């Protein structure tokens, strides 16, 4: 898996592949569940999830954070909707009201396509605070991103997602 992530994230910048050096198959928090797709060429796609409470403008909300998404470069354009459909029954079994994740603004068009099908909702203008992966004496313990927030309604309708301008992950990004 570590090699898969290095190959998948490396073309987006060496810094993005760095957290997967050695045999480490996660970048921040360890996933609770992994969906891994294989084909004759090896690992085709991966998605991790982690149940956690996030705070939206101070209000606690149970979610399953979706992250560590990757698809082999030769399969790009075929995978995220399939991955979400595979993971959805797991989310229902875990009893979470929402799946939650963040993506870089550069991926807006990519994830917005999924929103048109009603699978998820993409929200912008929300800041997300995360604990840094490694504690460093010369850096603050958290960072704040202006990422796109992806919400997947699972046990409750999207209308139950709280309004707010700041999400605190209460931990490291998955």
Number of domains in the chain: 1
Measured in degrees and rounded to the nearest 5, phi and psi for residue 96 equal -90, 145
**What is the distance between the alpha carbons of residues 43 and 55, in angstroms, rounded to a whole number?**
34
- What CATH number is associated with residue 71? 3.40.630.30
Domain range for 94: 1-168
Query: Is 70 exceeded by the pLDDT of residue 13?
Result: no
Helix, strand or coil, per DSSP, at residue 64:
strand
Minimum mean pLDDT range among 46-60, 70-84, 153-167: 70-84
Would you say residue 174 lies in a domain? no
Which pLDDT tens digit goes with each residue over 73-99?
888 766 566 667 778 899 999 999 999
Would you say residue 39 lies in a domain? yes
Query: Does pTM surpass 0.85?
Result: no
Would you say residue 133 lies in a domain? yes
**pLDDT more than 70, % of the chain:** 90
Would you say residue 173 lies in a domain? no
């Amino acid at each position: 898996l570590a090699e898969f992530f290095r190959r998948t994230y490396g073309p987006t910048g060496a810094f993005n592949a760095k957290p997967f050096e050695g045999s480490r198959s996660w970048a921040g928090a360890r996933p609770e569940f992994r969906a891994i797709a294989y084909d004759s060429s090896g690992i085709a796609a991966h998605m991790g999830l982690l149940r956690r409470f996030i705070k939206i403008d101070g209000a606690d909300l149970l979610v399953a954070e979706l992250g560590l998404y990757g698809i082999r470069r030769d399969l790009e354009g075929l995978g995220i909707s399939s991955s979400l459909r595979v993971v959805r029954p797991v989310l229902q079994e875990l009893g979470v009201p929402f799946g939650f994740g963040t993506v870089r603004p550069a991926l807006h068009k990519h994830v917005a396509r999924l929103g048109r099908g009603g699978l998820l909702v993409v929200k912008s203008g929300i800041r997300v605070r995360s604990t840094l992966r490694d504690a460093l004496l010369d850096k603050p313990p958290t960072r704040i991103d202006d990422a796109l927030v992806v919400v997947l309604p699972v046990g409750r309708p999207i209308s139950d997602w709280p309004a707010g301008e700041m999400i605190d992950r209460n931990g490291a990004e998955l």
